[in-house]
Structure 1
Amino acid sequence: MIDRSHIGREFGAHTADIEKGRLRFFAKATGETNPIYFDEEAAKAAGLPTLPAPPTFLFSMDMEVPDPFEILSVMDVDLGKILHGTQEFNYFKDVYAGDRISFKSEITDIFDKKGGALEFIVKKTEATNQHGDLVAEMTRTIVVRNG
């Protein structure tokens, strides 16, 4: 069983610069076809200041840390036993190329089902921009298969 004392544990904040090339690459990789994600002139014609971040892009930026699985190693969870459970996003402000986004994460819950055969780790991440504005909250649930 995962030690429930990890609930409330915070993980070191990190910052990522949002670059045009990364936005275009992510949009292409996720099958986006709207030109506002590729062409800066199309974005400006749509009333945007520059290329916007596609949906779910911030999740990939949150993973760009030296050890993206630190939360699991701290809890002594075997990577071979995990599954991606859920991913939720709440957006408050748009993110654009040129923004600098800071990420701060916390374990908000750990619970089990099926008599402990499955354990769930809930990680909440807040993303703020260079002005200190909350731009998004992301909640990820990781499933750990036991036994």
Structure 2
Amino acid sequence: MVRFNSRWLALEGHEFPAFQARIERDRVVRYLDFLGQQDAEVRQESACDDIGPALPTFPFSLEMEAGVVAAVAALLEIEASRLLHAEQSFTYHRPLRCGDLVTVMSWLRDVTWKPERRVCFFVKESHFRVDGRLTVSSRSVYAIRTAGEDT
């Protein structure tokens, strides 16, 4: 089991490198197919309309592909398998559509150590921008259960 590292508390506010991802029709269609949300004919016709309501977690898949979870683990100097993805929420400010070039900026908003439970929580916030305008914001909470405090 991982030991709590007091250095983690100083990581609050850490900004991860920004990255860009283009939303492509094939990716959206595959995502809809995986979720079983639409039949093939409807999916092909409407897949690139406002995809927010149909794909609330789609932005997270962009982060996963870019290796954000691995980056969090590397920052904490632990194995990614030690991170528990505890909670996630999304707010859609504007439609997200096929063809959009999305710029993603993420940072650790909050780091909280709960010594009585030996759990450390990391709140990561991300902003997804298209043409410089905020399109989606997300909040992800990761947790690490520890063996205790570092010495």
Alignment TM-score, normalising by the size of structure 2: 0.82
Asked if 1:134 is matched to 2:139, the reply is: no
From the superposition, tell whether residues 35 and 95 of structure 1 become closer, same or farther in structure 2 (CA, over 3 Å): farther
Give the Cα separation in 2 of the matches to 1:76 and 1:128. Answer: 29
RMSD: 2.2
What residue in structure 1 maps to residue 21 of structure 2?
16
Sequence identity of aligned pairs in percent?
24
Partner of 2:33: 28
Preserved contact between residue 23 and residue 51 of structure 1 (Cα < 8 Å):
no
Post-superposition offset of 1:114:
5.2
Q: Aligned residues, how many? A: 139
Q: Using CA pairs below 8 Å that are at least 6 residues apart, which structure has the higher relative contact order?
A: 2
Give the alignment of 1:108-119 within 5 angstroms: 108-113=109-114, 115=116, 117-119=118-120
Alignment CA distance shift 1:96-1:118 (3 Å):
same
List runs of 5+ in structure 1 lacking aligned partners.
45-49
Deviation, structure 1 residue 38: 1.4
CA-CA distance at 1:89 after TM superposition: 0.3
Cα distance in structure 2, aligned partners of 1:4 and 1:108: 11
Deviation, 1:70, is: 1.0
Partner of 1:94: 95
CA distance in 2, matches of 1:67, 1:136: 16
Distance 1:29 1:146 in 2: 35
Tell which deviates more after alignment, 82-91 or 70-79.
70-79
Q: How much has 1:105 moved relative to structure 2?
A: 0.4
Secondary structure, aligned partner of 1:10: coil
The runs of 4+ residues in structure 1 deviating greater than 3 Å are: 34-37
Give me the whole-angstrom Cα distance separating, in 1, the residues matched to 2:42 and 2:11.
38
Contact 2:73–2:83 (8 Å) recurs in 1: no
In structure 2, do the counterparts of structure 1 residues 37 and 98 end up closer, same or farther at CA, with 3 Å as the change threshold?
Answer: farther
Structure 2 partner of 1:145? 145
Looking at structure 2, the residues matched to 108 and 81 of structure 1 have their Cα atoms a distance apart, in angstroms, of 20
CA distance in 2 between counterparts of 1:37 and 1:64 reads 26
Shift of 1:68: 4.0
